[in-house]
Structure 1
Amino acid sequence: MPDSQFRTPGTRGREAIDTAEKFAGQVEVEEVFESTFEKPHILGARKEMASWSGQPHVKGSTETMRMALLTFSLVGLQFTWGIEMTYCTPYLLQLGLTKSKTSLVWIAGPLSGLIMQPIVGVIADRSTSKYGRRRPVMVIGSLLVAACLIVLGWTKEIVGHFIEEGDFRKTVTIFVAVLAIYAVDFAINAVQACCRSLIVDTLPIPKQQAGSSWGSRMAAMGHIIGYVAGTIDLVAVFGPSFGDTQFKKLTLIAAFGLIFAVSVTSWAVTERVLVSSKSTESKAGPLQMISHIFKTATNLPPRIQAICNVQVWSWIGWFPFLFYSTTWVGETYFRYDAPHDVKQSKDALGDIGRIGSMSLVVFSTVTCIGAFILPQLVKSPDEEGFTARPPAAIAGIVTKFNEYKPDLLTAWMWGHCMFSSVMMMAPFVHSFRAATFLVALCGLPWALATWAPNTYLGIEVNRLSSTAPSHRRLSSSRIEMTSPSTPFKLEHGLLDDPVSSTGELSGLYFGILNIYTTIPQFIGTFISMIVFSILEPGKSPELAHDAHPDEHHGTDGPNAIAVCLFIGALSTIGAAFATKRLKDLQ
């Protein structure tokens, strides 16, 4: 809405604005500004706005319960990602794929994120389903992920039912497994896009930062559950029923776990229903939508561009860690610590997965602890000098502590430095215990990596949502600032404007952030392919027992995955400098 449509409020109006911004009671902002707007302009502008029905609502009697239910879908989502990252690399190696070709398979992750998240986000933004914009996509996507996971776990049996034993069957088995991985990645990215957007859509602006923190906590819990499940010999515990290997049982658990988690969040959350989109949006076709995403991504505001630059440098380092660290720990065990009888195990995949999962259990535990504690130790990036007054008995201690609290950008910058220094030691590790220790240390920087960019992008989206002073943003809706004992509620009045709490801007910009997160994954995949081709060109001797010895690569030289981790660590130094430049723009 143009600035000319606003009149300058008087003294009493400004006092009302200050009261509305500082105190958490039920604030009827429309009533405060009803006399400050020119009615004909409002009615004219309203024709171009989207129309909505209903109010966002989350079940639960306490704020903690509501936050947990709203973000619970991320537990199942990250559990599934954890199973894929832990087991799919050794699974493909066991099928006979070389490491260089396996690295090409993982283009599926960045490719699906590059395509699915921004496009599905925009499509969901325009959905007029009576069940809401996000939940139908989440439910349908989780069912597709579950089906593809089961196909992945039983690939050999499915292919064997149609093709007789021989080399052709092995080739088809690898092809079907790779195809299933691609299908899982594309479907799960659609689910992930809507899980994150649902948080933004549902919570009022003052709750956005808390929602982002809870999302990180739930994601860490999902990783912990997945990695703990991976350390247990599920075949020995549950027998051969429903899968005679560790991988089959884990894919089955992941399939049902994702459906359950998404179902819980879908049951607990009530979305606003989009009745009709803006007139300009309703006429836009697929090409216009893609063109809009491209133009926005290539003409970002300076601070959002700086956030995206940090993501590029950071994820060149995090990509090999997330996809290969489990295999690296397991292979380190097989190289230097495993007795001879273990090296000849027929279920080397399960053994490597369990050893690697143990390291990631510790990693995810550290991440989860960090996700709960770090927000208390770091200054909130949207603090404006107004904080809750502590009890008198500890006021002095709290005040002194707050003086030395770093801001989030400083903590994020040191997190990059910590990850870089730890992973630079990877090529020199000759013990799986040392490898596990290094992986665990990366838990704290990962907590910051999953929290900081979402927080800062949310702040920037809020700034873009209102180019006028704060009274302009507040006037667009009636916001109920609830106490912890009342449900979240965001009432939109007649003056609907695309503020961040409606999700109309956040979906686009978070999709663009994901583009900048996936681009470095292509770079990381290319680097990994070159390193694997040079250092380990043959099949893995730890897994491909059925291959001829001449096809194996040696184990005397440096571990190729460790070299990839080292290169990624160098890139993360660039992320630290990019974070420093972002801080200079604040």
Structure 2
Amino acid sequence: MLPPTADADQEDPTTQITWPNSRRRESDSSNVLHDEPQIPYEQDTTMTRKPKVLKKRLSTWDLITLSISMLGAQIVWTVELGYGTPFLLSLGISEQLTALVWLAGPISGLIAQPVIGAVSDSSTSKYRRRYWVILATVVLVVSTLVLAYCEALAAFFVDLFQVGAGDWDEKRTTRVANTAICLAIVAFYLLDFALNGLQASLRNLLLDVTPASQLNAGNAWHGRMTHAGNIIGFGFGFLPLAKLPFFRLLGGTQFRKFCILCIIILVITVWTTCALHEEQEREKKSSSQGKFREIWTNTKVAVLNLPKPIRRVCYVQFFAFMGWFPFLFYSTTYVGQVMALELGREPDPDLATRTGEFAMLLYSIVAVIAGTVLPHLANRDRRLMAHKDDVDEDAELTRIKNTVRQWKAEAARNGKPLRLPMMPFLLRNIWTGALLWFSVLTLSTFFVKTATVFIALVGVCWAVAMWAPFAIIMELLKELSENNQLSNDDRRPLHSRTHSTPGLRSVRSSERQPLLRRRSLEEFGNDANDESSPRTPVAGGTILGVHNLAIVMPQFVVAVVTSIIFRIADGNTVVEGGDESDAYFGKNGVAWVLRFGGVCTLVGAVIARMVPPTPTEKAMRRRLGDMRDLKEEMEYYVLQFLPALHQLQGSSRHLPAVYADAEEVDEDSGSRLGNRKPPLAFGRDRRKPDYKNFDEKHAQSQARVDYSTMRAPNPMFAEHLNHLFPELQFPLELARRILTHASHPAAIYGHNAGLSFMGRRVISAYLYLLLSSSPHLKPSDDLEAIVAQTLNTYVLGEHIGSKWGLGRVMRWTPTLKADKSKDASPTLLKGVGLYKVQGDAVAAVIGGIFEQFGASTAHRTFHTRVLPHILASKFHAGLPEAFHEDTIHHSLF
């Protein structure tokens, strides 16, 4: 043993660990550790970065006007869905050519949405989204008018070029028919491309305008408007529009009148959205690349570096729409096949078609109802949302603490228990449930023969499909965009909120910086970051286009698979009593196609469990956890501490003043130590504290009424801690605070709540650092859940507090007498709160070490004295086994 020398470099005997990148430095005081590694803590972002400016919260009316254009777009889409094939056949197009026309949908989805997203992402104008909304609307209006007046326009162009002698000329008639077919095909392709561009631009506009906390509600309104557009469009299609005075003047068929009505609705809804909402103009950045080269580069980067959470959403969408496309294409045909099975013969084609359309109408109605009701399950309680004053995590925790106190006081005045907000259903759970429900419904076709009810119930799944995945991916994109902006401002890697530790005194500034930056979305996909260069802006529109590719691509796969299934299931056989021309009787291929889709959505449901909660949901869960901890602490304080104070004061009217005084003393107690640090006494001959009859003395002190004698620190506390950590010397006042719980009457002179809070933050940060650097960390791992499981208060109290013997020396007010607690079972000890109190004391010890001896000493103590004792096993919770190997390199048992 060497005596302490202020000027010599000393090796810290707490761990004997070789730390990377450590260097020795001279200390200006003899009361600090001399060999301290330079752990690369991040600088306090609350001092260097601008506070995040929250976007203006949108009202319900704002969300409606922002989403109403989806209603107009969907009504136009019903023109193609409801009248497309009959109209093309009426022009004389063959069924084979009609199938080629319907390829416009997937082709436009593959091209239009990614291209428009990439081009609008590269723009810095405040009209970058609305420009494409208006342009797509103009193309939609033109293409729909061409469809409505297709034959008239064909006759005009034929007459313009003087083809044929007149109306009676067969050559002219043939040329008019061919020209009408060409115009219709071109118009249908333009319609599909414009619709995809309009829907993509509207979703991009929603992403730009809506705050992150309201993206869930915004996408829910998008879904509602989509379902409402289906009902309105199909409803207008059944109305006799020719009998209305205005539409009678237009002439032509029902199809023409319906097209004109859709155009009017589309223009009104798009004008409403564009006039009432605008994007923020982005800062222009100089680029050495050309415009198209920049767009191509951004698109390539967005696709290749797609963050893993978003990539998982795309995987789920791929398998989900492997199930959706068979349903959307063949649901009405399935109704006809079920009718044929029930009748035992070929049903009337018109009756089968009307029955299928009625089933789809019920499906749309159920989708509207579900799209209105289900989003309420994921409603975000505003009490759990971020506040404009939450410039950093300390400010947020202070606000939460004050809020919970107000709620507690209000509940006490009303004579009711304190009820905290409830966590809503996670979006991924709702999405998973909808996928499972779809699988159940489609696989039930083996024994369920009520096709109309089956199709109607699928509307619930469709409502979720039009809302939940878009809300998830937009919230992930919003976090990427906001973190990227902060990263560019500060030239830092992308990160989210940083942990900060409340400093009770200003010692070395490098030890008071935040201990951790949390693993961000980008870090899941990129292991290294260049801190010296600004980041490429997050291509939200491009990524939404990539997401649309995951929706469109299954259509090509389904086309191949369904053809194989139809060939195997139906073939060319004719059942007894049937005919080769039967479209429904004797056919069962559609049922097998639907079952194939159900299996695919089952795979999607499994992958959906790997989609992480959205950033908003994680933040809400964290705030709710803080609220629950504060509530538990306050309730325990009221049940244990105030009765003792009541006995001390002799009158309940003094309790509020005493409670306030206790808080004041606790807040001031941290400054009593000042900046003094006792010299470390390495090699001092220490004896184990004498615990003989300590329980009896403790019980006798509890029985005495004069608690003023407890104002002076008891040397027993410092002796106990100094025995646990021979290389450290705890001041008497600090030791008393560490080992005095808030439930003890002597807590009015200082207790360990503040140190426990700080210590828990410190060890959480160190564990986050360990996990984030671990090669065993999987992208699907939830860091917050792992940390919460490992650093559970009861785990700390049972496995570390008991090993440290804190229960023998610490002061608290148990609900069980000391003579009974000695032989009590672990379950009973947990029930009376011993493990919880010991766990708080363990955190207070780390907090005291951090506050008194610095971050490096606290870091070593965590790895050598805490972490080895909280490794999970089959007998108790703790750090999962996958990370045990990482602790070997940091811990000395």
Task: Report the TM-score when normalising by structure 2.
Answer: 0.48
Whether the 8 Å contact between 1:56 and 1:271 is mirrored in structure 2 is: no
Task: Give the Cα separation in 2 of the matches to 1:246 and 1:530.
Answer: 38
For 2:594 and 2:234, locate their aligned partners in 1 and report how far apart those are by CA, in whole Å.
Answer: 20
Once residues 580 and 210 of structure 1 are traced to their aligned partners in structure 2, the CA distance between those partners, rounded to angstroms, is 22
**SS, match of residue 611 in structure 2:** helix
Q: CA deviation at 1:241?
A: 4.3
Partner of 2:597: 568
Query: Residue 222 and residue 567 in structure 1: after superposition, are their counterparts in 2 closer, same or farther (change >3 A)?
Result: same
- Say if 1:180 and 1:582 are closer, same or farther in 2 by CA, change over 3 A: same
Decide whether aligned partners of structure 1 residues 178 and 464 sit closer, same or farther in structure 2, where only a CA change above 3 A counts: same
- 2:556 corresponds in structure 1 to 522
- Compared CA separation, residues 381 and 115, structure 1 to 2 (3 A): farther
Instruction: Report the secondary structure of 1:272's partner residue.
Output: coil
Matched, 1:312 2:339: no
CA distance in 1, matches of 2:601, 2:92: 32
Normalising by the residue count of structure 1, what TM-score does the alignment of the two structures yield?
A: 0.70
* Alignment partners' CA distance in 2, 1:212 and 1:534: 41
After superposition, what is the alpha-carbon deviation per residue over 1:230-279, rounded to whole angstroms, capped at 9, x for unaligned?
A: 233334556754354333322222222212210111111133234x6322
1:242 and 2:278 are equivalent in the alignment: no
What are the residue-to-residue correspondences of 1:507-518 with 2, within 5 Å? Answer: 507-518=541-552
Deviations 1:508-546 (A, max 9, x none): 2212111211111222233455567888999xxxxxxxx
Secondary structure of 2:250 counterpart: coil
1:581 aligned to which of 579, 587, 610: 610
Give 1:336 shift: 8.0
Q: Which runs of 5+ in 1 are unaligned?
A: 15-28, 35-54, 473-496, 539-549
Aligned CA distance change for structure 1 residues 218 and 468 (closer, same or farther; 3 Å): same
Where in structure 2 are the equivalents of 1:355-504 lying within 5 Å? 356-378=356-378, 402=422, 406-424=425-443, 434-465=450-481, 466=483, 467-470=494-497, 504=538
Q: CA deviation at 1:306?
A: 0.9
Distance 1:298 1:353, change over 3 A: farther
Structure 1 range deviating more: 355-364 or 374-383: 374-383
Aligned to 2:653: none
Check 1:104–1:314 CA distance in 2 against 1; reply closer, same or farther (3 A cut): farther
Mapping for residues 136-285 of structure 1, pairs under 5 Å:
136-159=131-154, 162=158, 164=170, 173-235=180-242, 241-274=249-282, 277-280=284-287, 283-285=289-291
Distance 1:241 1:217 in 2: 33
In 1, Cα distance between equivalents of 2:590 and 2:178: 25
Q: Cα distance 1:522–1:286, how it changes in 2: closer, same or farther (>3 A)?
A: farther
Post-superposition Cα deviations, 1:71-108, rounded to whole Å, max 9, x if no partner, equal 11111012222332233234445556566654443321
Work out the CA distance in 1 between the residues paired with 2:267 and 2:98. Answer: 28
* 1:302 maps onto 2:308 in alignment: yes
Instruction: Report the more deviating stretch, 387-396 or 246-255.
Output: 387-396
Shift of 1:213: 2.0
Could you tell me how far apart the structure 2 residues matched to 1:371 and 1:103 are? 32
Q: Which amino acid in the other structure matches residue 147 of structure 1? A: V
Asked if the contact 1:419/1:569 (under 8 Å) is kept, the reply is yes
- Residues 136 and 469 from structure 1, CA distance in 2 versus in 1: closer, same or farther, beyond 3 angstroms? closer
Query: Retained in 2: the 8 A contact 1:217–1:372?
Result: yes
Identity %: 29
The Cα of 1:395 is off from its aligned counterpart by 9.0
* Unmatched segments (≥5 aa) in structure 2: 1-39, 164-169, 387-399, 484-493, 500-533, 573-578, 613-779, 783-893
Task: Determine which structure has the larger helix proportion and give its number.
Answer: 1
Distance across 2 between alignment mates of 1:105 and 1:535: 27
Asked if the contact 2:333/2:584 (under 8 Å) is kept, the reply is no
State the Cα RMSD in Å: 4.6
Q: Is the 8 A contact 1:498 1:505 kept in 2?
A: no
- How far the C-alpha of 1:128 sits from its partner, in A, is 5.2
- 1:385–1:207 CA distance, 2 compared to 1 (3 A): closer
2:332–2:360: 8 Å Cα contact kept in structure 1? yes
Give the length in aligned residue pairs. 490
CA distance in 2, matches of 1:397, 1:362: 44
Task: Give the secondary-structure state (helix, strand or coil) at the position aligned to 1:278.
Answer: coil
Q: Deviations over 1:342-378 (max 9, x none)?
A: 85xxxx6xx8876554433322222222222212224
CA spacing shift, 1:304–1:180, aligned 2, 3 Å: same
Structure 1 residues 428 and 106, CA, compared in 2 at 3 Å: closer, same or farther?
Answer: farther
Which amino acid in the other structure matches residue 60 of structure 2?
T
Residues 358/56 of structure 1: CA separation in 2 closer, same or farther (3 Å cut): farther
* 2:118 and 2:539 in contact (8 A); partners too: no
Query: Is the CA contact (8 Å cut-off) linking 2:430 and 2:468 kept in structure 1?
Result: no
One-letter amino acid of the counterpart of residue 134, structure 2: V
* 3-state SS of paired residue (1:582): coil
User: Take 1:94 and 1:394, find their aligned partners in 2: how far apart are those partners?
Assistant: 74
Q: Aligned equivalents of 1:98 and 1:395: distance in 2?
A: 73
Q: Which amino acid aligns with 2:44?
A: T
Pick closer, same or farther for the CA change 1:227–1:471 going to 2, 3 Å.
farther
User: Is the partner of 1:273 in helix, strand or coil?
Assistant: coil
Say whether the 8 Å CA contact 1:381–1:407 is kept in structure 2: no
Deviation (angstroms), 1:141: 1.1
Gap change, CA 1:176 and 1:394, over 3 Å in 2:
farther
Following the alignment from structure 1 to structure 2, what is the Cα–Cα distance between the partners of residues 382 and 515? 35
Contact 1:381–1:408, Cα closer than 8 Å, also in 2: no
Contact 2:336 2:584 in 1 (8 A): no
Q: Kindly name which structure, 1 or 2, has the bigger radius of gyration based on alpha carbons.
A: 2
Distance of 1:585 and 1:456 partners within structure 2: 18
How many angstroms apart in 2 are the aligned matches of 1:81 and 1:195?
15
Change (3 A) 1:245 1:435: farther
- Relative contact order (alpha carbons < 8 A, sep ≥ 6): 1 or 2 greater? 1
C-alpha separation in 1, matches of 2:303 and 2:248: 50
Does residue 78 of the first structure (1) align with residue 74 of the second (2)? yes
Contact persistence 2:122–2:295 (CA under 8 A): no
Give 2:266's aligned amino acid. L
Q: 1:356 to 1:138 in 2, by over 3 A?
A: farther
Q: Which letter does structure 2 place at the counterpart of 1:192?
A: Q
Tell me the distance in 2 between the aligned counterparts of 1:104 and 1:334: 29
User: Which of the residues 59, 62, 71 maps onto 1:63?
Assistant: 59
Counterpart residue identity of residue 195, structure 2: I
| 2:340–2:346 CA contact under 8 A, matched in 1 | no
Given that 2:69 and 2:273 are in contact with CA atoms closer than 8 Å, whether structure 1 keeps it comes out as yes
Change (3 A) 1:316 1:171: farther
Q: Indicate the residue corresponding to 2:44 in structure 1.
A: 8
Shift of 1:308: 0.6
Cα distance in structure 1, aligned partners of 2:353 and 2:154 = 24
Between the aligned partners of 1:382 and 1:568, the Cα distance in structure 2 is 39
| Counterpart mapping for 1:109-148 below 5 A | 109-127=105-123, 132-148=127-143
2:495 is paired with a residue whose SS is coil
Specify whether residues 132 and 250 from structure 1 end up closer, same or farther in structure 2 by C-alpha distance, changes over 3 A only. Answer: same
Task: Report the more deviating stretch, 353-362 or 299-308.
Answer: 353-362
